[in-house]
C-alpha cells in the first residue's frame, strides 16, 4: 500500500474501501457479486478486510481476503488483532496471508486483554497456551510482524482524531494521551495510519497538523488516511458515533434531524455531508503527498459510490482485465 501511494502523483487523491466477512454463505455470495461490481466500477487503491476481535472471524476474514486479493486482484489489507488470541493464531493468520499474496496488515490490538479468570476458551487457541500474553498493545503486534517477516508486509496502525475509548479505561483517552503510543507504533515500523471514523472535519485537520508537527518527526511523511462512514441510516449513525465517541457537529446533526423520518432523504443528505467532508479535507488537510480517504462501507455499495462520483475520486480506467464489452458497461455505470 505505501508503495502504491508513493507511486501516485503528489497531488493525487485515492481511496480505500472496508468490508467485513458475512456470517452466512448467502451473505458471502451477495458480497462477492457486489465486490466484483465495485472493484470494476469504483477501482479503489486497496480494500480492507476486518478481523473479529480475538480471532472470532479468522476463517471468514481469510476467505474474504482470498476473494479480494486472489480472485478479484484487489490489493488487500487484512486487519489483524492481537489480544485474547494465541500466538499460534497470529502466526497462522500471517502465514496464510502471505500464501495468499497479501502484503498489507493493519496491526490492531482489538478488545482489551482479558485477565486469566475471564479468558474465553471458546476463542480458537485460547486454551492452548498463554502466548497471548505476548500481545498487550498493538505495538506488540507491529514489532512481532517486523521481527518475523522483516519488510515483507506493509503495516498500518490505527489513529484516533478524537481520542480513544474502550472498556480498559474508565475515562476517554485524549489525543494527547494517545500520542506517545502512536509514536511508539510508528517507530516500531508502521507504514501508514488509518483513523477511526469521524464527522468533525476540524478534529481531523487539527489531528493531522498535530501529528505532522510532532517533535518526534515520525509523522512528517507517513500517510494518514481519514476514516469515513457513509450515512446508511439515522439509527446506524447515532449508534456508531456513540460507540466510537465521534462528535456529530451541530450543523450535520441539524441537517439530518430535519429529515430523520425519511430514510431516502437521510441517505441523500448523508451523501451531501460526506462529499462536503471529502472536498474540505482535500484542501484543508493537504498532506505531504497524495491524500487518501478510507470508507467504512458496512458492505454497502450505493452511498459510497455516489460520494466517490461526486468528489471525483474514481480513477480513470487504465489497467483492465475485462473484455471490451464489459468495459463499455462499466464506463456507462460510472
List of residues contacting ligand FAD (CB under 6 A)? 50-51, 53, 79, 81, 106, 108-110, 137-139, 158, 164, 166, 173, 177-178, 181, 185, 194-196, 227
Half-sphere exposure of 13 (CA within 13 A, CB side): 17
**Of 227 and 287, which CB lies nearer to ligand FAD in the complex structure?**
227
At residue 165's C-alpha, the angle toward residues 155 and 55, to 5°, is 50
Q: Cβ 89 to ligand FAD, closest distance in Å?
A: 13
Cell of 310: 461526486
Q: 3, 18, 116, 208: which one is catalytic? A: 18
Cell of 199: 464527522
Cell of 123: 476463542
Q: Cβ 268 to ligand FAD, closest distance in Å?
A: 27
Catalytic annotation present for 18: yes
**Of 224 and 308, which CB lies nearer to ligand FAD in the complex structure?**
224
Please give the Cα distance from 245 to 163 (Å, whole number): 8
267's CB contacts (< 8 A; 6+ apart) are 231, 232, 233, 302, 303
Beta partners for residue 106, in sequence order: 79, 156
Q: Cβ 158 to ligand FAD, closest distance in Å?
A: 3
Exposed/middle/buried for residue 182 (C-beta within 10 Å: 0-12, 13-18, 19+): buried
105's CB contacts (< 8 A; 6+ apart) are 77, 78, 79, 80, 94, 97, 145, 153, 154, 155, 156
**Of 149 and 181, which CB lies nearer to ligand FAD in the complex structure?**
181
Q: Maximum distance among all alpha carbons in the chain?
A: 60
Could you tell me how many residues make up the chain? 334
Helices (H), strands (E): how many in the chain? 12, 8
185's CB contacts (< 8 A; 6+ apart) are 107, 138, 139, 142, 157
Q: Cβ 111 to ligand FAD, closest distance in Å?
A: 7
**Of 191 and 234, which CB lies nearer to ligand FAD in the complex structure?**
191
Please give the Cα distance from 193 to 158 (Å, whole number): 6
Q: Cβ 263 to ligand FAD, closest distance in Å?
A: 27
**Of 41 and 186, which CB lies nearer to ligand FAD in the complex structure?**
186
**Of 110 and 230, which CB lies nearer to ligand FAD in the complex structure?**
110
Q: Cβ 316 to ligand FAD, closest distance in Å?
A: 28
Which residues carry out catalysis? 18
Amino acid at each position: 500500500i505505501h508503495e502504491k501511494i508513493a507511486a501516485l502523483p503528489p497531488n493525487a487523491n485515492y481511496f480505500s474501501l472496508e468490508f467485513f466477512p458475512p456470517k452466512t454463505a448467502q451473505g458471502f455470495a451477495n458480497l462477492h457479486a457486489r465486490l466484483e461490481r465495485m472493484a470494476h466500477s469504483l477501482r479503489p487503491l486497496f480494500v480492507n478486510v476486518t478481523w473479529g476481535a480475538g480471532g472470532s472471524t479468522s476463517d471468514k476474514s481469510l476467505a474474504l481476503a482470498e476473494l479480494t486479493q486472489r480472485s478479484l486482484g484487489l490489493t488487500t489489507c487484512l486487519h489483524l488483532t492481537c489480544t485474547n488470541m494465541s500466538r499460534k493464531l497470529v502466526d497462522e493468520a500471517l502465514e496464510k496471508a502471505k500464501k495468499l499474496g497479501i502484503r498489507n496488515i493493519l496491526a490492531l490490538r482489538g478488545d482489551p486483554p482479558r485477565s486469566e479468570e475471564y479468558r474465553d476458551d471458546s476463542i480458537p487457541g485460547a486454551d492452548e497456551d498463554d502466548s497471548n500474553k505476548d500481545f498487550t498493545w498493538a505495538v506488540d503486534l507491529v514489532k512481532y510482524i517486523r521481527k518475523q517477516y522483516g519488510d515483507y508486509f506493509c503495516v498500518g496502525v490505527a489513529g484516533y482524531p478524537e481520542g480513544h475509548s474502550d472498556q480498559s479505561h474508565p475515562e476517554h483517552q485524549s489525543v494527547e494521551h494517545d500520542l506517545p503510543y502512536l509514536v511508539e507504533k510508528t517507530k516500531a515500523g508502521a507504514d501508514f495510519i488509518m483513523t477511526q471514523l469521524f464527522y468533525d472535519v476540524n478534529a481531523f485537520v487539527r489531528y493531522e497538523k498535530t501529528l505532522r508537527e510532532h517533535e518526534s518527526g515520525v509523522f512528517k511523511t507517513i500517510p494518514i488516511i481519514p476514516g469515513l462512514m457513509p450515512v446508511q441510516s439515522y439509527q446506524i449513525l447515532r449508534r456508531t458515533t456513540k460507540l466510537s465517541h465521534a462528535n456529530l457537529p451541530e450543523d450535520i446533526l441539524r441537517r439530518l434531524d430535519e429529515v430523520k423520518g425519511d430514510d431516502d432523504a437521510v441517505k441523500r443528505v448523508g451523501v451531501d455531508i460526506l462529499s462536503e467532508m471529502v472536498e474540505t479535507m482535500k484542501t484543508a488537510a493537504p498532506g505531504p503527498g497524495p491524500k487518501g480517504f478510507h470508507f467504512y462501507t458496512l458492505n454497502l455499495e450505493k452511498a459510497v459510490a455516489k460520494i466517490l462520483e461526486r468528489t471525483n475520486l474514481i480513477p480513470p480506467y487504465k489497467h483492465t482485465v475485462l473484455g471490451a464489452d464489459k468495459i463499455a458497461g462499466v464506463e456507462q455505470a460510472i
